[in-house]
Structure 1
Amino acid sequence: MKAVRLHRYGENPKIEEAAEPNLIGPWDVIVDVGAAGLCRTDLHIIEGQWDPIQHPHLPYTLGHENAGWIREIGSAVHNVKPGDTVIMHPLTSCGLCPACRVGQDSHCENASFPGINANGGMAQQLLTNARAVVRLDAGLQPKDVAALADAGLTAYHAVRKAADVLFPGTHAVVVGAGGLGHIGIQALAAITSATITVVDPSEAALELAAKLGAHHTVLSTTDDDVAKKVLEITDGGAHVLFDFVGEHGAELLAPRLLRNRGSHYVIGYGGAVNIPTIEIISREINVIGNLVGTYNDLVELMTLTAQGKVTLHTAVYPLDAALDAIADLTAGRIIGRGILIP
């Protein structure tokens, strides 16, 4: 089968022939990939940032945002059947460790992470397991939802965690209205009553944000200018700030946009949060990390998607054009999410 495989860090992956996956265990599932999302994490993987954490054996196939159709199932699988349309939770979890027992799939002690530390879905077929597959509503197609498997799930997970404190009269500030942020904006509009302010350096991204539910938009210029405008709009700062960038200075600006006792949700990554401890104490602000999301988060997100409350804005490429898509993402030419179609 054709696959996008990484051979060396710091170099572009190669589009080449790879062996088709085989069922190994009774809970295994093989999926004919209908679409695979392209994520900034893929750029970080190519750079080698994930090597110290996940230690994948090179070469391997990229792609951790995947949807398609069930091709083959193991002997113990009963929740899906061949032909079903599915989206995959990014991790193949075990179901037995303490994290799995409380529904925290992304912290499974025995998980594999296709596309991160195992062969992923930028290919014609993908090996996953029964705990990872979510059947899709009849009206949903893989190409329309694939990137929700990680980008959407991660954004929704953060919003879901904060939803209880985003009641009427509160202010949510979203930094970054790109691939993750444009989904986070929709999730905020769908499940919270907060007033939503979006900060981004792209006028096109801000126009999209306004259409998706943002009440206010702020063009990112200088940090001082952004801080002044956001503090005016929010009457003192965000109750919750969602940083979907996490690098290039966004992570340093974020604390300036919070009100006292506000929470900085870190979703994007690549930089470093640097807040003096005296400021954390005196302002009683919180810094909260967010890793992917739970299986139930993905089920809820698919429900919102089927209801038309969350839509994915995409740029579609054939699998053969994966390197073009990577170049476009690196250069910031993609609005929304890049999608690869085998």
Structure 2
Amino acid sequence: MHAVRVHEYNRRPSIDEVPDPEITEPLDVLVEMNAAGVCRTDLHIIEGQWAAKSGVRLPYIIGHENAGTVLETGSAVSHVHAGDTVILHPLVTCGLCRACRAGDDVHCVNSLFPGIDTDGGMAELLRTNARACVKLAPGLAPAQVAALADAGLTAYHAVRKAVPLLYPGTHVVLIGAGGLGHIGLQSLIALTPAEITVVDRSEEALRVATELGAHNTIAADGTQVEAVKDITGGKGAHVVLDFVGEGGTEKDGVEMTRDAGSYFVIGYGGALDIPTIDIISREINIIGNLVGSYTDLEELMALAAQGKVRLRTTTYPLDAALDALDDLDQGRIPGGRAILEPVKR
């Protein structure tokens, strides 16, 4: 099969011919890849940012936002069958450790993360396991939802954690309305009554945010912190969701957060430098967010089936994967997601 593989960090991947994966365990599921999201994390992988954390051996296949059609299953798989369309939770988990038994499968001690620490889905086939497979509702195509498997799931997970803080009369600021942010915005609208302000440097992303239902939009032109303070009566937001996490948004996000408020870090690449006395005296919360759980993904698929969360996508064939990565890197996909279609149905 053909696959997009990283051979060396800080060098462009290549599209290689590699052996097909095969069923080897009773809970294995072999999926024909109909859609693979192109994520900013893929760029960070290529840059080597994940090298130490993942421990992956090069070369390997990237792609961690995956959806497709079941081709074959192991002998113990009963809830999905050949021909079913599925979205794949990004983690392959054991189901036996304490975290899995508690429903916190994101922290499974035996997990694999296809596309991060093992071969992923920018290929014609992917082997995963039964615990990762969520069947798609009728009418949902893999290309419509693939990026919800990680970007959408991460955004939804953060919003889901913020929901108890966003009662009527509260204000939430969303920094970055691009590939993650526009999903987070729709999740906020679906789940909370809070007033929503979106901050982004892209006029197109702000236009899309308004169309989706944001109450206020602010251009990130250097005056964004003051603008948020003006909208919130000088107090700042109860919750700030930072879907960028680099390039100065970290500092802005903390400044936009009101005393006793919460700053959620979702995007990454930068660093936080906050005097501890400020954290104490303002009693602010700094909350990290990883990808969501299997149940988060099920809930997100329910919202997608109801039409409450939609992706804006640009599709590419597998042989144009490097173009998709370049377009993402150069900001040529504002307010949406790039999707590879390795095997188009």
The alpha carbon displacement at 1:150 in A equals 0.2
Task: Render the CA deviation track for 1:83-132: whole Å, top value 9, x for unaligned.
Answer: 00000000000011111111111111000000001110000000100000
Task: Render the CA deviation track for 1:263-320: whole Å, top value 9, x for unaligned.
Answer: 0000000001111100000000000000000000000000000000000011111111
| SS, match of residue 260 in structure 2 | strand
Q: Counterpart of 1:311? A: 310
Task: Render the CA deviation track for 1:10-41: whole Å, top value 9, x for unaligned.
Answer: 10110111110011110000000010000000
Letter in 2 for 1:226: Q
Q: 1:228 aligns with which of 222, 226, 229?
A: 226
Letter in 1 for 2:224: V
Q: Do residues 37 (structure 1) and 70 (structure 2) align? A: no
Q: Counterpart of 2:294? A: 295
Q: Counterpart of 2:279? A: 280
Q: Counterpart of 1:257? A: 256
Q: Counterpart of 2:241? A: 242
Task: Render the CA deviation track for 1:194-223: whole Å, top value 9, x for unaligned.
Answer: 10000000000000011112100000011x
The alpha carbon displacement at 1:184 in A equals 0.2
Task: Render the CA deviation track for 1:221-240: whole Å, top value 9, x for unaligned.
Answer: 11xx1111101112211101
| SS, match of residue 173 in structure 1 | strand
Letter in 1 for 2:112: S
Could you tell me how far apart the structure 2 residues matched to 1:165 and 1:251 are? 20
| SS, match of residue 214 in structure 2 | coil
Letter in 2 for 1:282: S
Task: Render the CA deviation track for 1:51-95: whole Å, top value 9, x for unaligned.
Answer: 101111111111000000000100000110000000000000001
Equivalence map 1:56-71=2 (5 Å): 56-71=56-71
| SS, match of residue 111 in structure 1 | coil
Q: Counterpart of 2:20? A: 20
The alpha carbon displacement at 1:326 in A equals 0.7
Q: Counterpart of 2:269? A: 270
Q: Do residues 88 (structure 1) and 88 (structure 2) align? A: yes
Equivalence map 1:1-342=2 (5 Å): 1-222=1-222, 225-235=223-233, 236-335=235-334, 336-342=336-342
Letter in 2 for 1:72: E
Could you tell me how far apart the structure 2 residues matched to 1:105 and 1:147 are? 20
Could you tell me how far apart the structure 1 residues matched to 2:271 and 2:101 are? 32
Could you tell me how far apart the structure 1 residues matched to 2:251 and 2:25 are? 46
Could you tell me how far apart the structure 2 residues matched to 1:327 and 1:133 are? 30
Could you tell me how far apart the structure 2 residues matched to 1:142 and 1:272 are? 35
Structure 2 unmatched runs, 5+:
none
Could you tell me how far apart the structure 2 residues matched to 1:274 and 1:262 are? 17
| SS, match of residue 33 in structure 1 | strand
Matched length = 340
Could you tell me how far apart the structure 2 residues matched to 1:102 and 1:312 are? 31
TM superposition score normalised by structure 2 = 0.98
Task: Render the CA deviation track for 1:127-178: whole Å, top value 9, x for unaligned.
Answer: 1000000000011000000000000000000000110111110001000000
| SS, match of residue 302 in structure 1 | helix
Percent identity reads 62
Could you tell me how far apart the structure 2 residues matched to 1:109 and 1:93 are? 8
Could you tell me how far apart the structure 2 residues matched to 1:209 and 1:102 are? 36
Could you tell me how far apart the structure 2 residues matched to 1:318 and 1:111 are? 30
Stretches of 4+ moved more than 4 A in 1?
none
Could you tell me how far apart the structure 1 residues matched to 2:217 and 2:101 are? 41
